[in-house]
A and B are shown apart, each in its own frame.
Chain A
């Protein structure tokens, strides 16, 4: 069942260089019990997409009038800060890349977890503390009863990231937004965290938006994948469709440039050129200057529409005609 529906999300940023288009008609949904992966190069708009759900983008973000973030038939973009509170830690919860930044260094982990819980639920200090200990225990932190009174710098990276996830899950969210939750971690710890998230999804039937640069990580976690480039979804489909039968030249190029431990003789092919700056967004297809299959007079003129090329597999590229 659909949990959240994003429709025509379009964001400009008001800057010294004018109003710059950063997200262009992004539409997708997340189902209950589903892990939706979002991948794409740095600056492609993954984080601002995720932040839009909680309206946490910077002050200079301008949302288009037709943009919608629908949860239970309510367009969250119409809500004011006060009405948004439940979507910032209760119904929706978020885990960030750098857990150091999310725990204040001078406050004990437990106190932060208790405070977070009490914002969203009417709980006594004792009850909130119990819930926090349970949450820490459930993510595999041993001896949570004592560790809860420690400071985040006393935790190792892996423990901190677990505590962060415990805090995000303690309010029983319907949707967990994980923005590069394992990027700073070692692979063995990353594997633990991934397995933890997958288990929680099953146990709670929660939806997850999982953002990462690492396509292999999505191969192991996601049910469906969105590939973003310059604020657009260029390809989307099931993890099998996108990774084993990629159709957009950008997706193909990304895969060809990724090193693969199972095929280490593979020759890595870089993608030529670079992502243009927001202020240099080209007319036509956003990927044209790096595309090996560029069609003159077409790709530089018209913006490709989104087409469904097989069941639930969509791309936005001129190479595919109906």
Chain B
């Protein structure tokens, strides 16, 4: 089976500006030579430290950030799409099939729009309905699915709690019936008691609609609970990609192992976060030669300082490390 989304050798850059008027503009890679295949109907978790490039990769997949090298292909039922080479019409079609769920339920909803208008916006922007009543019906349908009180649709977002606002965001991103969703830290701001309900909702809708989701988070406990597959990013690179169980039970990359060791256990009898990574993530502006993780890795060898490891199949994982032992 060919995968739903296929990313090859993807680089995404940002400008660092110019040092002076006479010098050339400088760029750095926030996403560096990423290869990734995502199968249809899967929830793929993307974890990694702040600044590792998770949001940038997510935005590139949505066609919301241009990339400089490599390719992104989507295999839709109606045919495949090459993101670097889209006609206006295809771009419009593509936009109707992918959506972002906002990160922050407190600031991302326009305060002067009613909840109905917020939810309806993607439909209207894409011209997907023929009449106001058709739009209204779609809004009501999706609002019910997201367990929002449909008698409150004419209110403004400020009168809703954090959890309800996140339901509004979700309703909005689902109304145009996308096939792929990027959820970027979508539950990070919520209390666990509310977060659990939002995750449940997302999962059941995902099942029902056959959605594919990229779930970006730096909360490994949430990822472990919610996702099918997990990709671990470090300094713009994917260093490990594997099914959830594989990642959490038998992590292969030293960085993945270190990350898991740093997650506090809720069992007080098991004191677990004593031994963790030293040092900090290097600056993305001067990426080291060789492996990106070398400065913090306990297994580092001279080889690692010279050759950049690429993702290789190892058991059921894809791992970018040259010092793997069975």
Instruction: List B contacts of A244 (CB < 8 A).
Output: 267-269
The docked-state distance in angstroms from the alpha carbon of A109 to that of B191 is 33
Question: Chain A's nearest CB lies how many Å from the CB of B297?
Answer: 13
Task: Give the contacting residue for B264; candidates A189, A219, A253, A271; CB below 8 A.
Answer: A219
Given A220-B264, A220-B272, A243-B266, A261 and B248 touching (CB < 8 A)?
Answer: yes
Tally of chain A residues near chain B (CB < 8 A) = 42
Binds B, one of A52-60, A172-180, A208-216: A208-216
Task: Determine which of B191, B200, B280 lies in contact with A159 in the assembled complex, contact meaning CB atoms within 8 Å.
Answer: B280
Q: How far is the CA of A188 from the CA of B192 in the complex (A)?
A: 21
Q: How far is the CA of A239 from the CA of B265 in the complex (A)?
A: 13
CB < 8 Å neighbour of A188 from B194, B219, B226, B259: B259
- The size bracket of the interface on B is 35 or more
- Asked whether A279 is an interface residue with its Cβ less than 8 Å from the other chain, the reply is no
- The answer to the question of A75 belonging to the interface, with a C-beta cut-off of 8 Å to chain B, is no
B195 contacts across to A, CB distance below 8 A = 257, 270
Q: Is the CB of B269 within 8 A of A264?
A: no
Q: Are A268 and B199 interface neighbours, CB within 8 A?
A: yes
Q: Are A219 and B268 in contact (CB under 8 A)?
A: yes
Q: Is the CB of A268 within 8 A of B200?
A: yes
Of residues 96 through 153 on chain A, the ones whose CB sits less than 8 Å from some CB of chain B are none
B128 within 8 A of A: no
Q: Do B197 and A270 touch across chains, with their CB atoms under 8 A apart?
A: yes
Q: A43-70 CB contact bits vs B (8 Å, 1 = yes)?
A: 0000000000000000000000000000
B271 touches A220 (CB 8 A): yes
Report the minimal beta-carbon distance from A268 to chain B, rounded to whole angstroms.
Answer: 4
Give the residue name and chain of the A residue nearest to B198 (CB): A270
Report B-chain residues with C-beta under 8 Å of the C-beta of A158: 280
B280: contacting residue among A156, A219, A266, CB under 8 A: A156
Give the nearest-CB partner of B261 in chain A. A191
For B261, list chain A residues within 8 Å (CB). Answer: 191
CA distance A215 to B276 in the complex (A): 20
Which of A216, A217, A266: most chain B CB closer than 10 A? A216
Partner of A274, one of B163, B244, B273, B278: B163
Decide if B222 is an interface residue (CB 8 Å cutoff). yes
Of all chain B residues, the one with the shortest Cβ separation from A256 is: B196
Please tell me which one of the listed residues A239, A261, A264 contacts residue B268 in the complex, with CB atoms under 8 A apart: A239
- From known contacts A186-B218, A259-B224, infer whether A191 and B276 are also in contact, taking CB-CB under 8 Å: yes
Give bound CA distance, A244 to B265, whole Å. Answer: 12
B149 interface residue (CB < 8 Å to A): no
Cα A259 to Cα B224 with chains together (Å): 8
Q: Which residues of A contact B193 (CB under 8 A)?
A: 41, 253-254, 257, 270-271
A91 at interface by CB-CB < 8 Å: no
Whether A264 pairs with B224 at a CB distance below 8 angstroms is: yes
Encode contact with A along B211-224: 1 for CB under 8 Å, 0 otherwise. 00000001111101
Contact status of A270 and B200, CB under 8 A, knowing A186-B218, A188-B49: yes
B273's contact among A195, A213, A258, A260, by CB below 8 Å, is which? A195
- The reply on B38 being an interface residue by CB < 8 A is no
- A259 engages B49 (CB within 8 Å): no
> Which A residues are CB-close (under 8 A) to B263?
187, 216, 261
Is B191 in contact with A41, judged by CB distance below 8 angstroms? yes
A216 to B272, CA, bound (A): 11
Q: How far is the CA of A271 from the CA of B260 in the complex (A)?
A: 27
Q: Which B residue's beta carbon lies closest to that of A187? A: B262
> CB of B131 within 8 A of chain A?
no
* A195 vs B267: C-alpha distance when bound (angstroms): 17
Q: Does B277 contact A (CB under 8 A)?
A: yes
Residues of B close to A295: CB separation below 8 A = none
Chain A residues within an 8 Å CB radius of B248: 261, 264
Interface residue? B274 (CB, 8 A): yes
Known: A257-B196, A264-B224. A220 touches B265 (CB 8 A): yes
User: What residues on B are CB-neighbors of A189 within 8 Å?
Assistant: 49, 280
CA distance A262 to B261 in the complex (A): 11
A262 near B244: Cβ-Cβ < 8 Å? no
Chain B CB within 8 A of A190 CB? yes
Produce 1/0 per residue, A246-284, CB < 8 A to B. Answer: 000000011101111110101011110010000000000
Q: B200 to chain A: which residues have CB within 8 Å?
A: 268, 270
Indicate whether A77 reaches chain B with its CB closer than 8 angstroms. Answer: no
Q: Which residue of B has the minimal Cβ distance to A253?
A: B193
For A195, the chain B residues whose CB sits under 8 A away are: 273-274, 276
| B221, chain A: closest CB distance, angstroms | 4
Evaluate contact between B225 and A264: CB separation under 8 angstroms. Answer: yes
Interfacial residues, chain B to chain A (CB-CB below 8 A): 49-50, 161-163, 191-197, 199-200, 218-222, 224-226, 244, 248, 258-269, 271-274, 276-278, 280-281
17 A-B pairs with CB atoms under 8 Å apart are: A156-B280, A187-B263, A189-B280, A195-B276, A216-B221, A219-B266, A220-B271, A220-B273, A240-B269, A259-B219, A261-B221, A261-B248, A261-B265, A264-B244, A270-B197, A271-B196, A274-B194
Question: Other than the known A243-B268, A259-B221, A261-B265, what 20 A-B pairs have Cβ atoms closer than 8 Å?
Answer: A42-B162, A158-B280, A159-B280, A186-B50, A188-B262, A194-B264, A195-B274, A214-B264, A216-B264, A217-B264, A219-B266, A220-B271, A220-B272, A240-B268, A244-B267, A259-B226, A261-B220, A261-B248, A274-B161, A274-B163
The 4 closest A-B pairs by CB, nearest first: A270-B197, A271-B193, A264-B224, A268-B196
